[in-house]
Amino acid sequence: MVKVNPLGLASSVTLLMLAVAKESPWWELNIGGLAELKLSPFKVSFIAMGSNIAPPIVDYLTLGAWLMILASVALTFIGSFSDKPWSKSLLSFSLSKILGELLAVLSIPLLLYLIMGPLFNALLPFISGGGLASMEVTERSIPLLAGEGLVKLSITYMGRGAALTIPIEAKATPHLAVAIAAAALSIAARLYQTRLVKRS
């Protein structure tokens, strides 16, 4: 009788749900309605002034990430119907991919939080070059993963001053929850697979 890993099947299904929703972002950042970052391992777009300005290589990096999840769906499914030692490797493959991609996505909000938050003053000299005589942050509250914030800037440009108030909104979409569920199920499925293999 074939031993089935139900957690592996559930993991495979959640991974398939993620792969099917290829175009849906996991996390979104809106900068004052002027620029919008939509992020998932399968698609990254940074829309500014109506154009996606992400470098072309990003489209192919994300294509690779999507193909890896598709492969994970198939390998997890196959591995879940076996109690042979090699099945553990199949589930490990999927686990490493979903965990890696989830961590990559979560690292971007963290990086942006650091750049726009604590590191902003250190980066100001690099940002305020090219014609901007001076730029000063007068108020700043940056959301980490989800929430609303505000950046107030005082800019001197060509001898004239301007005060900018930029609202910032970060949003984690339901797909991020599915990805976390998929990662959790992949961990559980991999642990359960070890028990299945040991029993046989």
Applying CB under 8 A, the residues found at the interface with another protein are 32-34, 46, 48-57, 59-61, 63-64, 67-68, 71, 75, 86, 89-90, 92-93, 97, 160-167
Q: Give min distance, CB of 126 to another protein, in A.
A: 16
Q: Give min distance, CB of 47 to another protein, in A.
A: 10
> Which two three-digit tokens encode residue 1?
């009788």
Q: Which is nearer to another protein, 164 or 177 (CB)?
A: 164
Q: Which is nearer to another protein, 64 or 174 (CB)?
A: 64
Q: Which helix (H) or strand (E) holds 168?
A: strand 160-172
| 92 in Cβ contact with 82 (< 8 Å) | no
Rounded Cα gap, residues 83 and 99, in angstroms: 23
Rounded to the nearest 5 percent, the helix, strand and coil shares of the chain are: 50, 25, 20
Rounded Cα gap, residues 184 and 102, in angstroms: 11
Q: Give min distance, CB of 200 to another protein, in A.
A: 17
Q: Which is nearer to another protein, 38 or 97 (CB)?
A: 97
Q: Is the dihedral of CA 55, 59, 64, 65 positive or negative?
A: positive
Q: Give min distance, CB of 118 to another protein, in A.
A: 23
| 154 in Cβ contact with 161 (< 8 Å) | yes
> Which two three-digit tokens encode residue 89?
């490797």
Q: Which is nearer to another protein, 51 or 199 (CB)?
A: 51
Q: Give min distance, CB of 177 to another protein, in A.
A: 25
Q: Give min distance, CB of 57 to another protein, in A.
A: 5
Residue of 149, 185, 154, 155 lying closest to 72 (CA atoms): 185
Q: Which is nearer to another protein, 36 or 181 (CB)?
A: 36
Of how many residues is the chain composed? 200
Q: Which is nearer to another protein, 165 or 200 (CB)?
A: 165
